[in-house]
Amino acid sequence: MSIRNLFLGCFLLMIAACTAANPKPLVFNGDTLPFNNEYKRTYIGDLKKSAGLVEISGIACSRVTPGYIWMESDDYSDCIIATDEQGKTRYKLVNLTPKVGRSDWEDMCGGVYNGVNYLFIGAFGDNNASTGNYKIVYLEEPEITGSKSITVAPSVINFQYPGGIKHNAESMMYDNVEQKIYIVTKVYYDVCQVFSLPMSLEYGNAVQTLEYVCDLGKQTDIGEGVIGGTTRRYKGFHLATAADISPDGSLVLIKNQNNTAQDNGEEYSWILLWKREGNESISATLKRQPEVIQSYEQEWQGEAMCWLDNNVFYTVSDDDGEPPLYKYTKPYPEAIENIGTVENGERTKVLIGNTLYVRTSEGLYTIDGRQVK
């Protein structure tokens, strides 16, 4: 290889590396959003199709048994599965079929209500906005023990959107502060909308009407895409596919998967981060400008995301092969890193009420490193 060709090859690799590290800018509410570079992206490994870990459309970190991640498959099986962080071992099946059967499960999240940890499954996929059959399935999160399989009878919240309008949605999150469920619609070529519902154990079979919260910004056209043989203009941040709120309620993530952009070889996909200010509502938070997670790289059918705590979150795709699991981490506060010697070097994060703590062999600590008496 000539020196000239070698130089050219290195230059092109540098461009590719810069492109991967610097996603395309996003115009949102008329402004180009700033990038957030606090989180480092790490590839954990591929999930195993043989273990039922395929087409993952929802994940949630366990709050009852730290170190595990709950996953549900988009219309692939009748269970949710708990794995370790590596996603290599299937620890437990929670069979939900006896009571709710299968519909289009599209997202999953965890949350605390009246001091109890729950798992929520969004059975509200409606690709053609035609069925109007929308449910939130929820159950008390079980402890992950040595047993390989248990059966749980969950509860169901039936809901509709305001005015009976039908929507497709793939994103759901729960706020431990307000004790509310939030659902984000998935819209082609236009702005996605956010709706909410207070959590309650008393809804029964009645159909609940969600409350409209806000639109996710006014975006700017970024090009053309083809769907159903028709060329259309599409918006910057459409097709929302995953969302989550951190356990303490201070951070909100919403991501999209702009599959239509692949029709012209472009990649327009982002994770947006909102930072809650004080005691404001999530509604107020989402009406402000977010930041863009700089380390995110577009995942094929990237449809699942969850927080572990304010410093760590995970993403995984809805790939029907063996989808990759990614971890995004920013450094923990120095006070946590300087907690004294811990047996086996282990720190366990635990959620008590709405507050996240760190438990070690030496005691319980707040996230900023103060020991709890």
In angstroms, rounded to a whole number, what is the distance separating the alpha carbons of residues 170 and 166? 13
The CATH number of the domain where 133 resides is what? 2.120.10.30
Residue 174 domain flag: yes
Quote the pLDDT of residue 161: 96
Kindly state whether residues 55 and 101 are assigned to the same domain: yes
Kindly state whether residues 249 and 362 are assigned to the same domain: no
In angstroms, rounded to a whole number, what is the distance separating the alpha carbons of residues 125 and 74? 9
pTM, to two decimals: 0.82
Kindly state whether residues 106 and 193 are assigned to the same domain: yes
Amino acid type, 23:
P
Residue 2 domain flag: no
Kindly state whether residues 193 and 342 are assigned to the same domain: no
The C-alpha torsion from 206 through 208 and 209 to 212, rounded to 10°, is 180
Please tell me what DSSP assigns to residue 369: S
Kindly state whether residues 362 and 257 are assigned to the same domain: no
Three-state secondary-structure class, residue 16 = helix
Q: Which of 158, 170, 146 is nearest to 72 (CA)?
A: 170
Kindly state whether residues 355 and 308 are assigned to the same domain: no
Alpha carbon separation from 8 to 17, 20, 122, 332, 343 (Å, rounded): 14, 19, 49, 40, 52
Per the structure, the count of domains in the chain is 2
Kindly state whether residues 97 and 188 are assigned to the same domain: yes
Q: Which two tokens stand for residue 165?
A: 């309008």
Residue 247 domain flag: yes
What residue has token string 């919403």? 254
Q: Which of 323, 306, 286, 273 is nearest to 119 (CA)?
A: 306
Kindly give the residue spans of alpha helices, DSSP state H, lying in 80-130: 97-100
Quote the pLDDT of residue 5: 44
Quote the pLDDT of residue 326: 92
| Residues in the chain, pLDDT under 50 | 1-22, 98, 261-264, 341-344
Kindly state whether residues 143 and 105 are assigned to the same domain: yes
pLDDT in tens, 220-256: 555 555 555 666 555 578 889 999 999 889 999 999 8
Residue 267 domain flag: yes
Please tell me what DSSP assigns to residue 286: H
Residue 44 domain flag: yes
Quote the pLDDT of residue 66: 81
Asked if residue 180 lies in contact with residue 196, where contact means CB atoms within 8 angstroms, the answer is yes
Quote the pLDDT of residue 266: 56
Quote the pLDDT of residue 362: 66
Kindly state whether residues 234 and 353 are assigned to the same domain: no
Residue 10 domain flag: no
Residue 373 domain flag: no
Pair type for strands 155-160 and 207-209 = parallel
- Domain assignment of residue 345, given as a range: 334-366
Residue 9 domain flag: no
Asked if residue 41 lies in contact with residue 297, where contact means CB atoms within 8 angstroms, the answer is yes
